[in-house]
Amino acid sequence: MNDIREFIVSETDELVRLDKYLSAQMPEFSRSEIQKFNVRRADGTTPKFSEKIRVGDIFSVEIPAPKTDVATDNVSTDFDLDILFEDDDIIVINKPRGVVMYPSAGNKTGTLVQNILAHTKLSALGGATRPGVVHRLDKDTSGVMVFAKSNAAFRELVKTFSEHNLTRKYIAFVWGVPNWESADITGNIARSSRNRQKMTMVKTGGKPSHTEVAVINAWSRAKISEMRCTLFTGRTHQIRLHLSAHGFPVLCDPVYGRGATRLGSVRDADLLEFLRTHDGQMLHAEVLEFTHPTTGAPMRFKTRLPDDMMELKYILENI
């Protein structure tokens, strides 16, 4: 059922643009959303959103009933969800490696969104195939993610991520042992003109990016390190590209890893077997901290390494 609201302009709002006025009266909606609503004057005429309002003007706003789910046939239960937290507004998931975020041309079923929809509703504001999606992880990156269940949560989380008002930390196993304990990696990122599936560092254009990197462990015999990466921006493939561009590509990364040129130096049989047979970059979203989009409560989630990364670490520690 549609929601109809009525507003009477007071003296303090005289000569304000109509869309700006309605945005102030209904802060839960963006100005672009409000411009899609059915707005009428008291006499039944339709005003322009750019017009200046006057004292005593009366406006009725018809707000369409929000869609809170996508088609019921767009669900699946291909794997068990690892739910870290859930309430009426958000659901926090520990995403497994090898799972695609949402349906696309090459992945019609078995996606994370479809499995969540089999469990609960998601905000439709993300679109028919991406309901509730406010950030993304690559198919072969595991770890903590938050999805919006309510429309109000979706709007606030989109703002949180766009303003980078949160903390995201990742664990990566990389080729190479640096001579430093921590580093800041910055630079502009753009899509590669040679391969549209890849990103690249550019001197001009692109978007600014910033990753803080700290070395957790280093295995000099294997020439491999474990690093914790903190994101200050959220560009596509940011961590994988940053580490590779600075000489420390993520292990088993098929796009930026350059693993084929390094396998010849691996002497340990167990490590060589793991690296040759494993699919998916050794990258895990370990920590996600943010403010709850509706309650304002501080939220913090930390996930353990997935089994394959634990196996890799065991091998490295026993070389």
Q: Would you please indicate which residues are annotated as catalytic (active-site) residues? A: 138
Contact (CB, 8 A) for 284 and 171? yes
Tell me the C-alpha to C-alpha distance, in Å, between residue 109 and each of 100, 105, 304.
9, 10, 27
What SS3 state is found at 185? Answer: strand
Contact (CB, 8 A) for 230 and 162? no
Q: Where are the alpha helices (DSSP H) in the chain?
A: 18-25, 31-34, 112-117, 151-162, 238-245, 269-277, 307-317
Tell me the C-alpha to C-alpha distance, in Å, between residue 73 and each of 18, 99, 123.
40, 19, 16
Beta-carbon count within 10 A of 301 CB = 19
